[in-house]
Amino acid sequence: MDTIFGRNKEEHPEPIKAEVQGQLPPWLQGILLRNGPGMHTIGDTKYNHWFDGLALLHSFTFKNGEVYYRSKYLRSDAYNCNIEANRIVVSEFGTMAYPDPCKNIFAKAFSYLSHTIPEFTDNCLINIMKTGDDFYATSETNFIRKINPQTLETLEKADYSKYVAVNVATSHPHYDSAGNILNMGTSIVDKGKTKYVLFKIPASVPSVPEKEKKKSCLKHLEVVCSIPSRSLLHPSYYHSFGITENYIVFVEQPFKLDIVKMATAYIRGVNWASCLTYHKEDKTWFHFVDKKTKKEVSTKFYTDAMVFFHHVNAYEEDGHIIFDIIAYTDNSLYDLFYLKNLNKNFEENSKLTSIPICKRFVVPLQYDKDAEVGSNLVTLPSTATAVKEKDGSIYCQPEILCEGIELPRINYDYNGKKYKYIFATEVQWSPVPMKIVKFNTQTKEMLHWGEDHSWPSEPIFVPSPDAREEDDGVVLTCIVTSDPKKAPFLLVLDAKTFKELGRATVDVEIHLDLHGMFVPEKDLKTETE
């Protein structure tokens, strides 16, 4: 199994100058910082799943028309322990690791006991988060890892659970206009309750002496509110959540973690991923929390069973909350990324059994309480419906915006507001994106960019400094090539026309990544600060 997925990638910690073709906009100054799995074999051991690989950070730095590439493995405790042992000794979600058989029997018995609520990995391979002036590599465990965005050096490890009672947290936080972070995590059977916790990390702490500022943002983390899980031992899995001007949007899907199975997984010799189950006969529940009162809207809104990972955006209009997500009818997506399925012929063999669908739900928060049972309460022009049931709950059906897109991004200045454009990868039935698209949610028009043997990453929109319209700016995507004769490159598209402005080619192998962010030059501390 030596496809582009399973091959270990070399790191390139020293900057490599890329060859630039075309015209990059002179205002594009800063760093595109991205994260994803880069090493899947350690000694004689292999990870089972592509999402388990050790985190490899990489970046493209734009400086005065020149572009520099670098990459560096996150020096997590997981990385260091595995490399030192020359085998996988730290468990990941899809791969359970066992202690070295040479270790004495007492240590072995002890580690069995300590695995009940597992000590999770700090292999933060999913995304990058900005907290004040600091940057962290993140995944979905309680650990995040501070990094230097310029050198990609790994700094200290931080643990959410020291500041808030969560065992897992999302890798898709939201930022408000002041730079404060909102994120969610699950608190599992804490004081007899399982709940979804919304917490806020301030962007700055004004009244703190300089020397203490370093650790202050996380130390001042505050819980905004919590939503009780519908089930004590089967909390919902979620990868992201939504936000509007006044509300938090949380979707409790019937894709659930089985806590009892998780606690015994180690002893049973199975991975934690096997403890995730999709209950297709269950409903999917919508929760809306008022940001000001911190109270949940009392009406029960629900839809049919679905599995989803990514919220696109959400906003309010005329007493309704409108939110867009990318959903599946089953959980085949995760299974496709087991490395045994990503073999030489995976493009023919690996087929999703459910295509991703971009769904728009229109939820009437303010509706006529005397409306008849069976009536549609949506008063906006949309094919989405919200029907009042006998018991007072409201059954929502979405409008289908489009099919076959994933890894959605927007102009983040429009986050939580009425918006037009989604930038995404096009996936159809194969798990690997072949194109990137710009989709207009209002006209349903779709623009594409694609090239033979080219696999694009999540497209990131960067607004131009004098932007007037939502699509004034550029779209950046890293292109990995499946043709050994073609070097990988960073592509820069005009976000309006979706035509190529330029590309920066590097003559080293780059890895397929997951998520990341563009950091404008003004947000980077100079080395002396």
Q: Is 515 annotated as a binding residue?
A: yes
Helix ranges (DSSP H) in 123-245: 216-219
Q: What's the domain count of the chain?
A: 1
Q: What region does 319 belong to: left with phi over 0, alpha with psi -120 to 50, or beta? A: left
d(CA 165, CA 358): 33
Q: Is 115 annotated as a binding residue?
A: no
Q: Which residues pair with 174 in a beta bridge?
A: 182
- Domain span at 230: 12-523
Q: Is 448 annotated as a binding residue?
A: no
The single residue listed with the structure tokens 């200290």 is 156
d(CA 440, CA 471): 10
d(CA 18, CA 7): 23
Reading the chain (529 residues) residue by residue, the pLDDT tens digits are 457 788 899 999 999 999 999 999 999 999 999 999 999 999 999 999 999 999 999 999 999 999 999 999 999 999 998 999 899 988 888 998 876 554 444 444 444 444 445 568 899 999 999 998 999 999 999 999 999 999 999 999 999 999 999 989 999 999 998 889 999 999 988 888 899 999 999 998 876 666 665 566 889 999 999 999 999 889 999 999 999 999 999 999 999 999 888 888 888 888 888 889 999 999 999 999 999 999 999 999 999 999 999 999 999 999 999 999 999 999 888 888 888 877 766 666 667 788 999 999 999 999 988 899 999 999 999 999 999 999 999 999 999 999 999 999 999 999 999 999 999 999 877 778 889 999 999 999 999 999 998 999 999 999 999 999 999 999 999 999 988 899 999 999 999 999 999 999 999 999 999 999 999 999 887 654 4
Of residues 485, 512, 480, 490, the one with CA closest to residue 22: 490
Residue 1 lies in a domain: no
Q: Are 455 and 482 in contact (CB under 8 A)?
A: yes
Residue 478 lies in a domain: yes
Provide the pairing of β-strand 320-328 with 357-364.
antiparallel
| Structure tokens given for 3 | 């496809």
Residue 141 lies in a domain: yes
H or E stretch at 169: strand 168-169
One-letter amino acid for residue 64 of the chain: N
pTM value? 0.93
d(CA 505, CA 75): 27
Residue 529 lies in a domain: no
Q: Are 504 and 463 in contact (CB under 8 A)?
A: no
Q: Which residues pair with 359 in a beta bridge?
A: 325, 400
| Structure tokens given for 323 | 């939110």
Cα–Cα distances (Å) from 258 to 134, 262, 278, 355, 491, in that order, read 35, 6, 10, 26, 42
Residue 5 lies in a domain: no
Q: Is 310 annotated as a binding residue?
A: yes
Q: Which residues pair with 42 in a beta bridge?
A: 45
| Structure tokens given for 149 | 């965005």
In 445-488, DSSP assigns E strands to 446-450, 454-456, 460-463, 473-481
Provide the pairing of β-strand 460-463 with 454-456.
unpaired
| Structure tokens given for 265 | 């997984």
Residue 6 lies in a domain: no
DSSP string covering 407-423: EEE--GGGTTS---EEE
Residue 140 lies in a domain: yes
